[in-house]
Chain A
Amino acid sequence: MFHDLLNKFGSSKKKSKSIPVTLSTRIRLARNLKEFPFPGKAEDGQRKAVLSKCMDAMTDMDTLKECTSLEVDDLSELDRQILVEKHLISPELSQVDEGSGIVLSSDRNCCVMINEEDHLRIQVLQPGLEFEKVWKRADELDSKIESQVNYAYDCELGFLTACPTNLGTGLRASAMMHLPGLVMSKNMDKVINAVNQLGIAVRGLFGEGSDASGSIFQISNQQTLGESEGAIIDRLNGTLKNIVRQENFAREKLMQDDGLRLVDKISRAVGILKSCHLIQSSESMDLLSLVRLATDFNMLPERFRSLTDRMFIEIQPGHVQFSAGKPVEPSDRDRLRAELLRKEFGRTPQLNLEGVS
């Protein structure tokens, strides 16, 4: 059943809006049920009880349109890895043993994790910078679940969470940002320091502790208590728009100061993607990042932006293995990854260098 679901995902290459700089927007709400210890302290029986209560609360819910419920137990290592690579579940959830689950909407924009660090982690994501829509859907889903279960809530401290850093709104709003201009001009450290002062955190592609391969960063609010959801989202949104401006400025400057070097870099990236035979995921990420940048400069047609966004995920180890349909050695993975990239980028047109000095 899980594989059908993944195949369905793969084939639904529907045109999602892909824009420069912001890859996607996400909102996560942390919630716990009253009268049960948090997952970290719960016994097996209690975890199972929470799992079935939460699963029941979400069946037949319009907001989740034909959702799929899965128990993490039933998933293979590879299945879990694929969900992590698609950013649908956290690396933490993929590690747990028993009594955890996932409820996924058919459009895969909503994914609720059950018994991760908290009983419920309600997540909604969407391509582009779309906080308003994403918050609306998360809020709606949260209210519907709340009509079926009792949340642990305190009028002073808000929604109670296992970690006090999530207390209050339980809200983590984040955007996945593609910032090659700031990275190449060596301004990223400055940006990270500046936004940290505003209570905003910057992490790598796969969250805490991951590196920023492909110049992709996850930027999110740190503070969850003492402000309303609207205020938190507005502040983050304002900061993100500012980062977009800084990124565009850095790109213009790179082009002005040493455009030839940048064009050379991009051309070489396309060259390697067209003709590689063995390639690791980290190198692929950096090359794809340059192709996305070229699209933003109008050097390549728009469709290359959504193609790179899809490739950012499909070149990850789990996805490469899944497409092969059998277990593959790491070295063989590099061959298969190169094959995929040659196929997708083989017909890349010449860069359009009009307007480039």
Chain B
Amino acid sequence: MKCHHCDKQATVHLTQILNGQMHKMDLCESCAQANGVTNPENLSIGTLMDSTEGDTDASAGVMVCESCGTTHQDFKKGGRLGCEACYHVFRPVLDPLLEGMHAGTQHLGKIPSGSESRVQFEQSVDDLKKHLLTAIENEDFEKAAELRDQLKALEKETQV
């Protein structure tokens, strides 16, 4: 398999899910490095976003957080969000990024002791179950397996 950018042998195979669509790219070691793919720390959020090829950009271009004034452009440039509300506003562009950046997209760590978040936590278990059923119905088994693992991990934590 040849590299997407040059004619060298591709050794890095990048798979990203953007807007529910799977994008695959094969890169050689040096092109992968040049694009920061092998080093998540240097992986510029901006470059990754540019690879969403306009479809989200059209809608994302006008995104502004009313609470703190952060624009989509600010986020693209600096990679930082301004406040809690930004996470709701920029969620559509954030989700595909998080998938590439982290081990999963569901928080499986510590939960603050406040009761409100406990209720939310139980809610998220229910949500996961619903998503899992939908994934099975749609025969998206890759997604289903991922959701099943998340659910298992979540349920394990509640028993602790």
Contacts and interface: CB of A to CB of B under 8 A. Distances in A.
A226 interface: yes
For the residues of A in contact with B, the DSSP-based class is loop
Interface in B23-41: 38-41
A169 B109 CA distance: 6
Chain A: interface residue count, which band? 35 or more
A155 B80 contact: no
B62 interface: no
Interface in A214-261: 222-229, 231
A164 B40 contact: no
Given A41-B69, A196-B38, A227 B82 contact: no
Interface stretch (B53-61, B116-124, B137-145): B116-124
B151 to A, nearest CB: 13
B117 A155 contact: yes
A165 B43 CA distance: 10
Given A37-B68, A158-B109, A208 B84 contact: no
Interface in A135-183: 139, 142-143, 146-147, 150-160, 162-165, 167-169, 171
A223 B102 CA distance: 5
B94 A155 contact: no
Contacts of B124: 155-156
Contacts of B89: none
A38 interface: yes
A263 interface: no
Contacts of A143: 113
Contact of B81 (A38, A150, A151): A38
A197 B83 contact: no
B41 A201 contact: yes
A38 B83 contact: yes
Interface in B77-95: 78-84, 87, 94
Nearest to B125: A155
A117 interface: yes
Contacts of B104: 225-227
A143 to B, nearest CB: 7
B117 A226 contact: no
A146 B121 CA distance: 17
Contacts of B106: 156, 225-226
A227 B156 CA distance: 12
Nearest to A158: B107
Contacts of A203: 41
A208 B108 contact: no
Nearest to A203: B41
A63 interface: no
A37 B83 contact: yes
A34 interface: yes
B117 A164 contact: no
A160 B87 contact: yes
Interface of B: 38-41, 45, 67-70, 78-84, 87, 94, 97-98, 101-114, 117, 120-121, 123-124, 150, 153, 157
Given A38-B81, A143-B113, A164-B79, 17 more contacts: A36-B83, A37-B68, A37-B82, A41-B68, A41-B82, A146-B113, A155-B111, A162-B82, A163-B80, A165-B41, A168-B102, A225-B98, A226-B103, A226-B105, A227-B103, A227-B108, A231-B108
26 contacts: A35-B84, A38-B83, A41-B83, A151-B112, A154-B107, A154-B120, A157-B98, A158-B107, A159-B107, A160-B84, A160-B87, A163-B80, A164-B81, A165-B41, A168-B109, A169-B110, A193-B38, A199-B40, A199-B103, A208-B41, A225-B101, A225-B104, A226-B105, A226-B108, A228-B109, A228-B153
Q: Which A-B residue pairs are the 4 nearest by beta carbons?
A: A226-B104, A158-B107, A155-B120, A41-B82
Interface of A: 32, 34-38, 40-41, 117, 139, 142-143, 146-147, 150-160, 162-165, 167-169, 171, 193, 196-197, 199, 201, 203, 208, 222-229, 231
